[in-house]
Amino acid sequence: MHTHNRRATILTAILVVATITTVPLFGGTAAAQEETANDYFETFRSMEGTEAYDEYDELETVRTFAVSKTQVTGELTAADQAEFEAVLGVLTEFDRAYVLAEGGDYEASLAAAENVSAYADDLEEYDQTQATLATLALTRFYERLGDGLYEEADATNSTPERIEHLGMTATAYERADMPEEATQFRVQAEQLSAEFERDRETIATVQNASSTFLEDCADCADVQAAVSANGFETFAAYQDAEATHIQIREARERAAHHGLADREEQLAAMSDDVGQTRTTLAIASVVVLIGYGVVVGLLGTIVAGRLFVWRRTYDAARVGSVVSVGDSDV
């Protein structure tokens, strides 16, 4: 009895699992059915009034033609479906490229535009006229995209962003079949990139040199400590501080020119530290100079006193010599 019930339960579970597994499969088969001409008709008709097609009327012509063709197409052949898919790809990817460009996402816009070109190549196998219209619209789009990218490159104060925008500008003009403009902006991007790399190396060198100077002159924060640590080398330390401070100022100017806010902030902090050290070393140099002057003055006084005593002794000796000679004559 229990064995019979267990078998019945197992059979029921198997049937339930089989039913659950089978239902999605049938549903998936239905969902995978090819679209009808009417489906494409509704899709293309729903795209009416799209801003991208209004601005690039070649694509509105492609859309209108697709709507008309779906109305007279009966059962779809494989070629019909491939053609409509290519048209749909051209229209949707162009609209996406247009919207992305309007939103300032130029890199994604260029990628979407490249997809448009691929779909246009597919469309050319079935309708060369429609493919040509799509290519014409895409060429105009690339030219306008290049103009917009150049404006963005000119407006930004960040050199890395400017280099990126100039590179994309060159790519857009190249795809717009404007080789001279493409070459011009490619060269600008390369020259700016080389300048940026040189300045970055200079900034890094200055930062390292400044850190080394501050570490080597750790006792320079206090006048007495600076004098004790450096002695007569205080003057040389002050000159090093002055030279380092000038280098930092020039490096900050380069960082600001390239829009490197983080580097500029780091250099500003270093400039403050080196500036304080320079001031301390200037005062310490004066202290050393005064001390040296006092010592020299004391030595001078001692030497002058000695000379004065020697002179008096010498004069007295001469007078005594004259008196002795006079007495003998008498």
User: Are 158 and 259 in contact, with CB atoms under 8 Å apart?
Assistant: yes
Question: Which residue type sits at 68?
Answer: S
Q: What is the distance between the alpha carbons of residues 160 and 193, in angstroms, rounded to a whole number?
A: 8
In the chain, % of residues over pLDDT 90? 60
Give the residue among 208, 306, 300, 291 at the shortest CA–CA distance from 248: 208
Type of residue at 150: Y
Single-letter code of the amino acid located at 62: V
Please give the full DSSP string across 172-224, using - where no structure is assigned. HHHHTT-HHHHHHHHHHHHHHHHHHHHHHHHHHHHHHHHHHHHHHTGGGGSHH
d(CA 272, CA 277): 9
Alpha helices in the chain (DSSP H): 2-31, 37-46, 51-55, 57-72, 78-102, 106-124, 128-155, 159-175, 179-216, 223-230, 234-257, 261-329
- Unique residue bearing structure tokens 């509105």: 60
213-250 residue pLDDT tens:
888 877 776 676 666 666 666 778 788 889 999 999 99
What pLDDT does residue 1 have? 37
Q: Which of 49, 131, 34 is nearest to 90 (CA)?
A: 131
Kindly tell me the burial class for residue 225, based on how many C-beta atoms sit within 10 Å of its own C-beta (0-12, 13-18, 19 or more). middle
Sign of the C-alpha dihedral, residues 296, 300, 303, 306?
negative
Q: Of 96, 104, 99, which Cα lies nearest the Cα of 155?
A: 104
In a 10 Å sphere around its CB, with 0-12 CB exposed, 13-18 middle and 19+ buried, how is residue 281 labelled?
Answer: buried
Cα distance between residue 173 and residue 147, in whole Å: 9
Show the low-confidence residues of the chain (pLDDT under 70): 1-34, 221-222, 224-233, 288-330
pLDDT at 30: 31
Closest CA to 94 of 110, 116, 114: 116
